Amino acid sequence: MKIVDRHDEAPGVRTMKLEFQDRADHELFKITFRTGMFGLYGIYGEGESTFCVASPETRKDYIECTFRQSGRVTSALANADVGDLITFRGPYGNRFPIEDFYGKNLLFVSGGIALPPTRSVIWSCLDQREKFGRVTIVYGARTVADLVYKHELDEWQMRDDVELVLTVDPGGESPDWKHKVGFVPTVLEEAAPSPDNCIAVICGPPIMIKFTLISLKKLGFDEKNVYTTLENRMKCGVGKCGRCNVGSVYVCKEGPVFTAAEVARMPAADL
Amino acid sequence: MTRILFSDKLDNCIARWRAAGLTVFGPVKTDTLSSYAAIEQASDFDFESVLPDRSIKDLFFPQTEPMLRYTIKKRAIETEDFTPPNGKRIIFGARPCDASGLAIDDSLFGWDYKDEYWIQRRNESVIVSIACTKADDFCLCSSLNLAPDSSTGSDVLLRPLENNNGWVVEELTDRGREAFLAIAELLQDGSDPIAPIADVPEKFDLDTCVAWLQNPENFESKFWKEISMRCIGCGSCTYLCPTCHCFDIQDEGDTYSGIRRKNWDSCSFALFTMHTSGHNPRATQSARWRQRIMHKFNYFPGTFSVNSCSGCGRCSRQCPVDMGITETLQKISTLQP
């Protein structure tokens, strides 16, 4: 796929917009892609890395992906320029069943670099806004600089049909920071969204997920109405290479999207 | 009356099979670990050892193999898929545990997204197994609902004669019948007595072990730490295992051209599951050994209705710290479910 645009979201975090070079590949993507699915992005000579498709299922002319530059492949991807070609395998995995969310209120809870998968669901819903009730987004990062999609956060802030709660970890605020200071689960409990007729989509580092699930339980959310996406190390993406399983569940085949009820049945020590 | 292949006809058989376009493989001794390899004549075979050190997996799922070659040009990336070398072959003298191992991995590689390399090699190979008349203390097929003369995964099963001068032939599949058609006139009818199969005592009760593994409360049992304390995470057990199938994908080359390879990987290694963030779902050796046991006797049978272990015992036989599946399951079978 060709990189047609790229920009930095935060220190070391980059978004790339990719366009298909092959018409048949693109048609297949349009038929199969649904929000929540992932792909393997690669550069020959370096390898492949797994991230979600960060763009929504309502915008299939391109793929956007957002990644933190940390290893060999992501460094090579970060060095790739507009006009360069990279490889994409996918989309793989299951999806967020957003038709099941029609008519319901939506709560998105996300932390740090985990906004990209959440953002795919957020836009998939906002692009057909009339089908959903209230939309609340709680997003936090370690520091103000680490917040990703800042331009979209501004856009959601301006919309009167979206309630956005932003927070940074204590010590991560800048002098002009006007939003919350505190960890995501704490801020979520303060915001106290009603669990009535509400679906929660949460994504974040394992520690945030753990405490957010506790907070949602306190707020009265049923585990069946809470969705998350697990991101384990993968190589093949098609259920053969043997590493992404949590207990007996293969994240690449049966996930990456699971309800909190499904996650609760997995062995916690394998997460 | 049974059909018998006498050992002194084996060189003739090899010649016939070669004339029919088959490459002949079998268990051979080497300077290092013994293995299944291509042979020239009957004297190359090693039928005396209990089984080769390396499993038959090597011939179907090599330790490393190229998947594609890439060339990067100014405005295009060109790739060329590798296909496994074409060639029909007969693997003569496979052990029943190795043949069963192939049948086990057929379920994984042939499920959902199909592994063409595996399937092509399977379709092009005739597996002629020889029932075991010898076993060692590490053999455990009988504990896994298999036996020294199991026919699972074999196209032909041979039963050694009591005089050790040939085998009774049992053709099991069309592929096996076709390969033995080429040597039909070298077979003789006879009623020579067959040698008794090896005595492999049952080492544990599998159902008891599986029940313990399936109990979620035992996932964090201190048993896992105790049993794997001496594991050094070398991965030998997984590499020698006929059914361990985990792999890595790596690129070799530079920005302009190179090869993407599929390499064996191992759940024994910390890097196997390590996230970019540093978080590792299976951060300790005990978690990784638990994964190996759970995968073989709980997760894999949950999906494919067959255990991912054929009882060859290589994991215990070759383990540098004397661990292995046998010891682990023996101890589990004594625990409260």
Which domains does chain A show, CATH number per domain? 2-92 (2.40.30.10), 98-229 (3.40.50.80)
Q: Say what the pLDDT of residue B254 is.
A: 83
Contacts of A244 in chain B (CB under 8 A): 273
Nearest residue of chain A to residue B269 (CA atoms): A243
CA B108 to CA A239: how far, in whole Å? Answer: 9
Q: What is the ipTM of this complex?
A: 0.91
Which regions in chain A score pLDDT beneath 70?
none
List b or e across B268-280, with b for residues whose CB sees 16 or more CB atoms inside 10 angstroms: bbeebbbebeeeb
Is residue B76 a contact partner of residue B129, using CB atoms and an 8 Å limit? Answer: no
Domain boundaries, chain B: 2-190, 206-332
Contacts of A87 in chain B (CB under 8 A): 77
Which regions in chain B score pLDDT beneath 50?
none
- DSSP sequence for chain A: -EEEEEEEEETTEEEEEEE-SSHHHHHHHHHH--TT-EEEEEETTTEEEEEE--S-TT--SSEEEEEE--SHHHHHHHH--TT-B-EEEEEES----GGGGTTSEEEEEEEGGGHHHHHHHHHHHHTTGGGSS-EEEEEEESSGGG---HHHHHHHHH-TT-EEEEEE-TT---TT--SEES-HHHHHHHH----TTEEEEEE--HHHHHHHHHHHHHHT--GGGEEEE-----SSSSS-S--SEETTEEHHHH-SEEEHHHHHHS-GGG-
Is residue B154 a contact partner of residue B92, using CB atoms and an 8 Å limit? Answer: no
CA A227 to CA A55: how far, in whole Å? Answer: 18
Nearest residue of chain A to residue B299 (CA atoms): A248
Coil vs helix vs strand at B289: helix
Contacts of A253 in chain B (CB under 8 A): 112
Do the chains contact at A236 and B245, CB–CB below 8 Å?
no
Do the chains contact at B303 and A248, CB–CB below 8 Å?
yes
Smallest Cα distance from B272 to chain A, Å? 7
Q: How many CB atoms lie within 10 A of CB B299?
A: 20
Model pTM? 0.93
Look at the block and give the residue holding tokens 């997996």: B57
CA B126 to CA A194: how far, in whole Å? Answer: 65
CA A232 to CA A169: how far, in whole Å? Answer: 25
Do the chains contact at A46 and B251, CB–CB below 8 Å?
yes
**Is A252 an interface residue toward B (CB < 8 Å)?**
no
Q: Say what the pLDDT of residue A231 is.
A: 85
**Is A242 an interface residue toward B (CB < 8 Å)?**
yes
Is residue B267 a contact partner of residue B228, using CB atoms and an 8 Å limit? Answer: no
**Is A264 an interface residue toward B (CB < 8 Å)?**
no
Helices (H) and strands (E) in chain B, counts: 11, 12
CA B323 to CA B329: how far, in whole Å? Answer: 11
Is residue A147 a contact partner of residue A10, using CB atoms and an 8 Å limit? Answer: yes
CA B19 to CA B17: how far, in whole Å? Answer: 5
Nearest residue of chain B to residue A248 (CA atoms): B299
Q: How many CB atoms lie within 10 A of CB B284?
A: 16
Q: Say what the pLDDT of residue B85 is.
A: 77
Give the C-alpha distances (Å, rounded to integers) separating A53 from A66, A116, A259: 8, 8, 19
**CA A257 from chain center: how many Å?**
10
Across the interface, of A235, A246, A247, the residue whose CB is closest to B249 is A235
**Is A75 an interface residue toward B (CB < 8 Å)?**
no
Do the chains contact at A235 and B108, CB–CB below 8 Å?
no
- Residue B293 CB partners (closer than 8 Å, separation 6+): B213, B325, B328, B329
Do the chains contact at B246 and A241, CB–CB below 8 Å?
yes
Is residue A258 a contact partner of residue A71, using CB atoms and an 8 Å limit? Answer: no
Cα atoms in the 13 Å half-sphere on the side-chain side of B105: 27
Do the chains contact at A270 and B77, CB–CB below 8 Å?
no
Do the chains contact at A248 and B298, CB–CB below 8 Å?
yes
Smallest Cα distance from A233 to chain B, Å? 6
Do the chains contact at B219 and A48, CB–CB below 8 Å?
no
A42-95: pLDDT as tens digits:
999 999 999 999 999 999 999 999 999 999 999 999 999 999 999 999 999 999
Q: Say what the pLDDT of residue B266 is.
A: 97
Give the C-alpha distances (Å, rounded to integers) separating A146 from A10, A169, A207, A223: 5, 10, 17, 29
Do the chains contact at B249 and A48, CB–CB below 8 Å?
yes
Q: Considering only CA atoms, which of A207, A220, A235, A200 is closest in space to residue A101?
A: A200
Q: Say what the pLDDT of residue B75 is.
A: 79
Is residue A33 a contact partner of residue A57, using CB atoms and an 8 Å limit? Answer: yes
**Is A238 an interface residue toward B (CB < 8 Å)?**
yes
Do the chains contact at A243 and B220, CB–CB below 8 Å?
no
Residue pairs spanning A and B at CB distance below 8 A: 103
The backbone torsions φ and ψ at residue B137, rounded to the nearest 5 degrees and listed phi first, read: -65, -15
Quote the crossing angle between the two packed helices B116-123 and B96-109, to the nearest 10°: 140
Do the chains contact at B249 and A247, CB–CB below 8 Å?
no
Across the interface, of A87, A240, A245, the residue whose CB is closest to B299 is A245
Q: Are strands B2-6 and B188-190 parallel, antiparallel or unpaired?
A: antiparallel
